[in-house]
Structure 1
Amino acid sequence: MLRMMLYLAAGEASGDILGARLIAALRARDSSLEFAGIGGERMAEQGFASLFDIRQLALMGVAEVLPSLFRLKQRMEEAVADITARRPRLIITIDSPGFTLRLAARVKHLGIPVIHYVAPQVWAWRPGRVKKIAQCVDRILALLPFEAPIFEAAGIPVDFVGHPILESEAAHGVAEHAPGDGRRLIIMPGSRRGEVSRLLPIFAETLKRLPGDLHPIIGLAGTVEEMVRARTAEWGRPVSLVRSPQDKADAFAAARAGLIKSGTSSLEAAVAGLPHVIGYTFNPISNAIIRQLHLVKYASLVNLLLDEPLVPEFLLHQCRPEGLAAALRRLIEDDEAVARQREGFTRALARLHPEHGLPSEAAADAVLRQL
């Protein structure tokens, strides 16, 4: 039997999860498929051997990327050479457009079809990117229902495959298994070194402004685990750290509220029914640039799907302990505020289901149609 190789390229922890689920769904449909490329520990669990450690790509923000440009260029050259040598039947780039779309552009001359999994958020900033994306991508697998028309208008075929958060373990937590006693607060500081170094001190100061009986539980990502462990050890108070998806789900089930960085973690909290507040900031230079480029009213996907400010957002220069603490205190003390968020979560998540099956299955079907 002729074996077909698919080349997957993920650039951070969330893409690693997507890649792992996609590999599993593809293998369930065609056991002859082979896989190579760039991934993390979740893809490794599927027997995937990564070209290099994706933690080297986990950067975000203009000032964070600049000092690492030489290393990123080296990794890019390695990836281009690997694809050129392997000549896979299909390339699947997963999220992290700063790296993966550049990779797609570099290997376009090889004539290998490219599917990009997770539509770049051109609706949020830099809409002019659509034309460049159309030059290096043959198909997009979109997670959000409103994304398809944007890319189809530029001539890129799009499959809405649903959001992978619907497959998250977050909805299946057991509160009794969570660490700590009494009222608990989930803190999710992110999976990139830059965002953790910026957000964790702000989140620590926020915690000092909340009731002293709250027990913080910090969600770890493999890319920044050592950093988070070291920094929270200096907090001078009991802190629980959870790493596995099931342990995080148990913590979600037990917590009263969450202090969550903007991004997929917010949707994960929504799936778990965890009321939360969003905080995110870059360094001052990046903040100034992004304030000029930002096009949408909300950062939270829940808020975007509902077109209403259900989840309080504190972004860029507004990401300060005073505001975060005040919003969290309302969730901790006000049952009606909690009920409002949970009702809104149900409405938002209903819009993320694919037409058939699970999101990873819908993505696998789209990949096989391309083949």
Structure 2
Amino acid sequence: MRLGLDLFLEKNYAQFTGKRIGLLTNMTGVNERLIPTIDLFNEHPDIQLVALYGPEHGIRGDAKEGEAVESSVDPYTGIPVYSLYGTSKKPSKEMLDPVDVIVFDLQDIGARYYTFIYSMAYVMEACGEFGKEFVVLDRPNPISGLSMEGNLVEEDVRSFVGLYPIPNRHGMTVGEIAQLYKHEFGIDCDLTVVPMEGWSRHIYYDETNLFWVPPSPNTTGLDMSILYPGTCLVEGTNLSEGRGTTRPFEYVGAPYVDGYKLAKAFNQKNLPGVLARPVSFVPTYQKHKDSVCEGIQIHVVERHKVHALKTGLILLETIANMYPNEFQFKENPNGKFFFDLLAGTKDLRNVILNGNSYTFLESCEGQIAQFEKQREPYLLYK
């Protein structure tokens, strides 16, 4: 298997010779020998790398989730770094003035909440407005490109964790999403996608020849990524989603939970592809910092059978039923719920509280069929 990065360096770069290049990347922008894209571009005799652009967590991945990142100068290359997760998430004219072309090389994890694909959208918009070219170096969807799960984001809850009507698990690569943005969602820019060679839709990341480089501090590996389209919803509640532990999005619990009772109740649901065991953990930051939490670790038994959203919803429904006085959705000071932004709808909170998750999941089937038809023309790997 060969990355879009490999093929760009082999041949595609030639069409951009003499143009000033900006690179939107982070620590996941590496080749199969773990050499950073930044270095490969900077040392290439025919690539004029003049600017770097960093997404959430920064260009080196040392910022926590939601933490604003300032623009800076890269200490290794001396190249200016423009933050796309600071005062603005969309680059200004001044931020794009130094470049003719922006190249995108970031590893996505296959779930709609992940902000890298919205940084890509905003940069595409800006490139269209200011006459810059945009190039995507394609990378694998680590949880394969076949399965899709969930509902399409409704217009009144669009945000940086759900900017367009795509499902929780979208089953697309970043190159395919870029084409969807341009042709279906109206982002008009001069777009070039450099596809991979040798990747097929059924392939998971550990079936490639690539090393896993965590795209952010809490994307610890493949099991976490498989569960994330469902367990990310825990972020919108007063449960810990395991941030501040070694197993974020696999651990779920709180000080008010009895882990043994929860594991037994969850396993009795007989959800496909997963099993739970009771755990006790102490988050080092975020929710319930320094407090003993009981809960469960969700183990992936058979990844091809896992439906992450079903897993997450049934888990939340089970906890809400067991602890009706303690379980809560986090409410912002303005009376709005972050959970709604993750859910892509304001209806899901009541669905969980009323025990109607299976009905909701059935209602998603038509939306998935709609999205599958919409995405079909832009799939690069049949």
Give the TM-score normalised by the residue count of structure 1. Answer: 0.40
Higher relative contact order (CA 8 A, sep 6+): 1
Give the TM-score normalised by the residue count of structure 2. Answer: 0.39
